[in-house]
A and B are shown apart, each in its own frame.
Chain A
Amino acid sequence: MKFFKGKGSKDSSKAKDLDRGILVFENTSEVIRAETVLKEQGWKIRVMGPPPEIRTGCDLIIEFPLIEELNILRTLEAAGAEPLQVVPVNSPLLRPVDIFQTKDYGRYFMVRAANMKLTIDKDTLTVVNISGGGCPDVPYLAQEMVGKHLADAPAPEEIGHTLCGYALQLAYEEMRRQC
């Protein structure tokens, strides 16, 4: 039985670029510099013209695997080639989540950003649990952070790699702001 719509279907074609993102830079020389850095490190990227929704930056952008945004931004930052803006290809007007939900359990406090939840012990400021998420760095981040004091635990932006790691970073920053 054929249950897969196949490569030629309308939906499949629409979905083609859904997991790609766009890096926007101030000028072309920054694009070239970032391209060199990313290609040297083996990333699958391409330089192309910007979509009409992008109204900032120069007339070249870099398309990259969106899921790995956190890792790529860290790479560019280390090389001094930070982009002006990062947006998804399919919908360049989308922005990262900026809504945080919190839950107070008495001794424990949880902050949620998008699909990621971070919980600490309010008395000791120890990270007691990390839940949610679906990218493979989530179990890794939990392994590295749970049981450590909030100030001593590695920040997700330091050791995470994906958008789930990025969401956890936002929860982590909100937690540090509130506690």
Chain B
Amino acid sequence: MLAVVGTVPVEDFPLTSGKVSLNDDLISIQGNKASVNRGTPALLAAAIKVCEAMGQSLPVGYLVGDIGLGDGSRRLYEYLSETLGNCDFSSIAFHYLQPDVDWHNRVLFAVEEMAKRPVLTADAGFMYAAKMSGQASAYDLFTPDVGELAFLADEEAPHPFYTRGFILHEEMRVPELIVRAYEHKNAANCLLVKGQPDYVANQKGIEATIDLPVEEAMEAIGGTGDTVTGIVSALIEAGIDVKESSIIAARVNRLAGHYARPIPATQVMDIVEQIPAALAQVLDEKAIMSGQRHV
């Protein structure tokens, strides 16, 4: 079963865990509803679309309200550190949480106590904490955008806000940034770098480049990175290996964006709605052209 850990931008949203469903543009968990706008609800909405399309059980969410004060995040970190060790998840996606190295480490200790190691994906604030903790290699997948990749590549930066200028200037040279992130042990075993193009990479180098279809407006649309992470998390849960899941997810997200005919003012739910059709298309293509890496 897939677990998704993150926050909702509503101050009084309670700390809740349970199966998450999607109704129109709202996710629902234990009777609590949140808008699919961006952030973890967008990740969950995308994951649910894939789970439904592939006949999988719906993801379990661990959610709490946090508007950036970190109070909700810390309560969720504490809850996870006390309970995860006794849970049985095959994969976990960690997402929008206030980055906190100490709490991150406690959660990772709890994961280590699980009877079977789940596949670990990290994005957003939890990925920042994972990098800062020096424990990036404990993760199977990070899903940074190009700005976040520059942060991973900068061994000194404690947050993307402090990424050094000479590294930010390298942004057009994503392959070099990937090498640098691995050299300093600040990358997970696999990286899905969201940009134009998307890259799937590991310690050996770039394994796949996904560059079609191109929709320039996608970069401006909040939540489109979250949907990629949701799609890949659900594909991993379906039993597809991390690298292949990343390649498929990047392509599905692009195609879903293409189907939505986006402009920079498009909202992410319009893209989420297109995920089932895009997934069907990509899986059909793969059935026909198995083995091809440049998609």
Contacts and interface: CB of A to CB of B under 8 A. Distances in A.
Interface in A83-117: 88, 90-91, 94-99, 101, 103, 105, 108, 110, 112, 114-117
Contacts of A30: none
B147 A114 contact: yes
B93 interface: no
| Interface size range of chain A in the complex | 35 or more
Contacts of B168: 97, 99, 114
Contacts of A136: 7, 9, 39, 66-68, 70, 72-73, 96-98, 125
Contacts of A95: 162
Interface string A1-14: 11111010101101
B165 A97 contact: yes
B185 interface: yes
B105 to A, nearest CB: 7
A29 interface: no
B38 A131 contact: yes
Contacts of B69: 68, 71, 161
| Interface size range of chain B in the complex | 35 or more
Contact of B219 (A15, A103, A115, A165): A103
A164 interface: yes
A136 B37 CA distance: 13
B161 A12 contact: no
B135 A4 contact: yes
B151 interface: yes
Contacts of A161: 67-70
Q: Which 3 A-B pairs have the closest CB atoms?
A: A137-B68, A134-B124, A161-B68
Given A108-B265, A135-B99, A136-B125, 4 more contacts: A121-B265, A128-B265, A131-B224, A136-B97
Interface of B: 7-9, 37-41, 66-70, 72-73, 96-101, 105, 108-109, 111-112, 117, 123-129, 132-135, 138, 145, 147-148, 151, 156-165, 168-169, 171, 185, 216-217, 219-225, 263-267
